[in-house]
Homo-oligomer: A and B are copies of this chain.
Amino acid sequence: MSLSFDVIAETAAGGRRAQLHLPHRTVQTPVFMPVGTAGSVKAVPQNVLEELGAEIILGNTYHLYLRPGHEAIARMGGLHKFISWPRAMLTDSGGFQVFSLAKLRKVTDDGVKFRSHLDGSSHFFSPEHSMDVQIALGADIAMAFDECTEYPAERRRAEESLRLTMAWAERSLTHHRENRHKTPWFDANTGRRQNLFGIVQGGMYTDLRKQCAERLVAMDFDGYAIGGLSVGEPRELTLEMIQEVLPLLPKDKPRYVMGVGYPDEIEQYAKLGVDMMDCVLPTRAARHALLFTSEGRVNIKNKQYAEDQGPVDPNCDCPVCQRYTRAYLRHLMQAGEPLAATLNSIHNLAYYLNIMKRVRAGMEAGSAAETV
């Protein structure tokens, strides 16, 4: 048995309140997944993530492959054990970072040759290699190796990129099926195994997106992601692509939109039927003093907060809003104190996780109302 996805309630708009049963955790969806790039959600200890209610976090294959190395992590029992995170995890394929961070890339049908952004050393990622790395890391969900089409992209370029992504999806799936028993926690008796998601690409061309979605669905992945969004396109286009693709994906499997977004975006997409989202925004913005609140965005470095005795967000129940003032958080930023990144990140993550909590509660209440 791979994952199972039990829909508890559906809304007229297509939103779904579900339980996603993964090998290490039953995750309540729609869910926001904090990003733990190099094996750490930046500046936030694991026990705090648990206290905030995070049920699944991401690890980045490219970063962990380079440092400390997937083989070392496998020898230590896999990524869950290495970082001491007992709940669910998802790894990306490494493709996005190879294309955005690595140097001197050379792409062929076979895969991508690149140099590490850390030390310039040479490496090669193919669909097969990405699967081997992700199996060694042993997250609950692995992602097919794809090429994230840049924005803007000419139709010709998007077509060529899509051809590659679809060939690589097939090879990812084949190689993963043959090797997925190699995660440290695989169990043949219960069928407990790593899941693999396919990624819908196609740039901003709806017919290419459709073609990709249909081909991937025919391949029968454990779940489906929509990739190549939030890459610089206007938000209406992001929404259009999501709305085009969602109905093409199987209703009984989780749908994941990668790398989005702002608070209002994740709420909007969840209500349209997106089950999973991840984004570095809450933690990255936090480190740059940008805090999300129920009253709008707060740049906590602003002088206006110098003696502000209120919490960051009067409507937030997070441990930061319960204990510290805006004035103190501003001071920590001004003084360059490392605690600033930690407290700001905790608040922003709580804000994101609470949005999803409210969306889930709303779906349950809506469903209950209909039943009455």
Contact = CB atoms under 8 A, between A and B. Distances in A.
A301 to B, nearest CB: 12
Nearest to A340: B40
A68 interface: yes
Contacts of A47: 319, 323
Interface in A9-66: 38-40, 42-47, 63
Contacts of A82: 325, 327-328, 331
A149 to B, nearest CB: 29
A123 interface: no
A75 B325 CA distance: 14
A156 B63 CA distance: 60
Contact of A337 (B42, B46, B319, B323): B42
A341 B339 CA distance: 10
A307 to B, nearest CB: 6
Contacts of A83: 328
A331 B67 contact: yes
A75 B327 CA distance: 12
A323 B84 contact: yes
Interface in A63-118: 63, 67-68, 72, 75-76, 82-84
Contact of A342 (B38, B45, B68, B327): B45
A328 B68 CA distance: 9
A346 to B, nearest CB: 8
A365 to B, nearest CB: 33
Contacts of A43: 338-339, 342
A103 to B, nearest CB: 19
Interface in A277-327: 306-307, 309, 319, 323-325, 327
Nearest to A287: B338
A343 B68 contact: no
A122 interface: no
A188 interface: no
Contacts of A319: 47
A268 interface: no
A335 interface: yes
Contacts of A174: none
9 contacts: A40-B335, A42-B338, A45-B343, A47-B323, A68-B306, A72-B327, A75-B307, A76-B327, A338-B338
Given A39-B328, A82-B328, 5 more contacts: A43-B338, A67-B331, A68-B334, A76-B327, A338-B338
